[in-house]
Amino acid sequence: MAEADAAKPHAIMVQFLFQGHITPFSHLALTLASKGCTVTYVQTEFQHYQMKSTAASAHPHQLSNEEAVDLFFPGARESGLDIRYATISDGFPLDFDRDLNFHEFYESILRDFPARVDELVGKIVESGRSLTPFLLPMLPTCGLQQLPTSTIWWMLRSGHQQLCIYP
C-alpha cells in the first residue's frame, strides 16, 4: 500500500477562507481523486466548526477526520476515492468575530497563515505517505517552504489564488 501511495500524486488542497469557495474547491477535490490522486483537503478549524455545527443533528459528537471525509464528501471512501481531511488553525479562537474584525483577521491571514500551512505540508511530506505531493494553495505563499516550487501550481481567478492543476 505504501508503494502504491508513493506512486500517486498527492494534492494538498488548502481551501480559501471565504464562503463561495467551498463547493467549487470540493468539486475539484473529487475530480482530482477520481483521476487517481490522493487528496488531503484542508479547512480551518473555524470552517470545520461552522460546517460541523450545520450538521450537528446528524453528528452530535466531535468528528474524527474519517467522519469529516464522510460528511463533506459523502460516498467518496465507499467508491474508492483517496480523500483525506485535515484542519488547521487560522490563528484565532472559534468565538472571534471574523466579520466584525475583518481587517485584523485578513492581515493575520496574509502575515501568519502561510507559516501554518508550511507546518502542515511539512508534516504530510514527512509522514512518507506520498513522494509526489503538490500543493493547491489559497494564497500563493502558502506551503512554499516545504515543497519544491515545481510542485506548486496556482492560477488567478476572480482576484484570488485558489486553484491549481498538475501537469
Q: What are phi and psi of 71, to 5 degrees?
A: -75, -45
pTM metric for this prediction: 0.72
How confident is the model at residue 96, as a pLDDT?
96
Given strand 83-88, what is the order of strands in its sheet? 83-88, 38-44, 10-14, 133-136
Residue 164, all three cell numbers:
491549481
In the structure grid, which three cell numbers stand for residue 110, read together?
Answer: 496574509
Grouping H, G, I as helix, E, B as strand and the rest as coil, residue 11 is strand
Angle, alpha carbons 45-74-163 (nearest 5°): 60
Q: How far apart are CA 43 and CA 13, in angstroms?
A: 9
Cα-Cα-Cα-Cα dihedral of 31, 36, 38, 39, to 10°?
0
Angle formed at CA 59 by CA 76 and CA 75, multiple of 5 degrees:
10
Confidence of residue 17 (pLDDT cuts 50, 70, 90): low
Give yes or no for residue 110 having a pLDDT over 50. yes
pLDDT, greater one: 137 or 80: 80
Select the more confidently predicted residue: 135 or 91: 91
Query: Sorting pLDDT into bands at 50, 70 and 90, what band is 91?
Result: very high
Kindly report, residue by residue over 23-67, the tens digit of the pLDDT.
788 888 888 899 998 888 888 899 888 877 766 555 555 666 677
d(CA 109, CA 104): 9
